[in-house]
Amino acid sequence: MPQANQTQSNHKSILLTGVSGVGKSTIAYHAPQPIAALLLDKSSIDIPPGVDADGIFYKQYPPAQIDLSKDDHGRARNIADGIITDIQLLRDHFMAKKPLKMKMFDGTFEDWPTPKTVILEGGDFLAQHVLNLICARHNKKNPDEWDNVFTPWGLRLVELHAIYDQLTYLPCNVIVTTGPEEETKMVTSPNGKKSSEKTGRIMPDLGGAMCMEGPRKFASSLYIDASSGKHLARTRSNAKYIGFKLSGHFGEQEQIDITLDRKQTVMIDDRSYTVNLWQKLFE
C-alpha cells in the first residue's frame, strides 16, 4: 500500500476565477514551461512581461459553426468535439506516449513538446459549448425542447464531470480560468408563482451545478479581484465567496496581494522581469 510520503506530487491543479482583466492569465502564464494553452475565450494570447513566449504553445478555438442567415439554426457541436479530442490527445500523450501532434482549426498540425503545464482558458465558455453538444446529439435547438426541463442540464453536468476528470488527472500542472457566477435560488411568491432570485454569493462559473461541484476537482481555487485598486487573490471561502481555497497553505491570509509594480521587478541583462506569481502563490 502506498504511503503519503511516496505519493506526493509537485503537479498542481488550479482554478482561477475573476472578471476580465484582473490577472488570471498573468498568473497562469507564470507557470512552469513548456505550456500547452487551449484558448476558448479569446482570439489572441497575452504573454506577461518577463515570460518566455517560446515556451508557450497554444490553440485558439473559433466561435461555433452556425448559419446565422437562418432563423431556425441549430446548435453547433464542433468546438466541444474539438476540445474533447484535444484533452484526450493530451491524455494519450502522457499515458500511451503518443506524439503530441495538435490539429489546428485551419487543418494544419503542430508538434508540441510534453507540457509541464496545461492551461484551459474559458471554463464558462466550455460549459456553453458542451450544452451545444448535448442539444446537437439529441437533435434539439434549445434546452426547453426536452419534455423534462432538467434533462439537458443533467446531461451537461455528466459531460463536464468527464471532461474535468480527464483534464485534472493529467500528470502535469493544470490551470483553468473562468468568470464569476452569482448564485441563484428558486423562490415562491404568496400566489404560488416560482421565480429565480440572486443570493449575492459568488462562485466560479463552470456551468449550472458544476459551479458548486467543480472546484472540488482542483487542489486550489482562487478568486482574483481588482476592485480595491490592488490585485488580490482570495484564498478561502466566506459567506459571500464560495468554492475557494489554497492548497498546502494552512493559516494563509484570506487575500494575498498579487499587484505587480516596479518594486516587484528585477533587472537581468538590462531587461526587466516581474516577480513570478506562480512561485509566490503556489511554491
Whole-angstrom Cα distance, residue 241 to residue 233? Answer: 12
pLDDT in tens, 182-231: 988 877 777 777 777 888 999 999 999 999 999 999 999 999 998 878 88
In the numeric block, the cell 483553468 is attached to 176
Q: In the beta sheet, which residues pair with residue 253? A: none
Helix axes 151-168, 78-96, angle to 10 degrees: 30
For residues 240 and 200, the answer to whether their CB atoms sit within 8 Å is yes
* CB-based contact 203:180 (threshold 8 Å): yes
Task: Give, rounded to a whole angstrom, the gap between the first and last alpha carbons of the chain.
Answer: 28
Q: What does pTM read for this prediction?
A: 0.89
- Judge whether residue 15 has pLDDT over 60: yes
**Alpha carbons 94 and 240: distance in angstroms, whole number:** 39
Tell me the β-bridge partners of 273. 266
- Reduce the DSSP state of residue 184 to 3 states and report it: strand
Q: Are 76 and 136 in contact (CB under 8 A)?
A: yes
Q: What is the pLDDT of residue 3?
A: 56
How high is the pLDDT of residue 105? 87
Among residues of the chain, what percentage have pLDDT more than 70?
88
| Percentage of the chain modeled with pLDDT above 90 | 61
Q: Where does the pLDDT of residue 7 fall: very low under 50, low under 70, confident under 90, or very high at 90 and above?
A: very low
- 23-42 pLDDT, tens per residue? 899 999 999 999 999 999 87
pLDDT at residue 269 in the model: 56
Above 70 in pLDDT, residue 266? no
Other CB atoms closer than 10 Å to residue 190's CB: what's the count? 5
Q: Do 96 and 88 form a contact (C-beta atoms < 8 A)?
A: no
pLDDT tens track for 57-112: 999 998 877 666 677 667 889 999 999 999 999 999 999 999 999 999 889 999 99
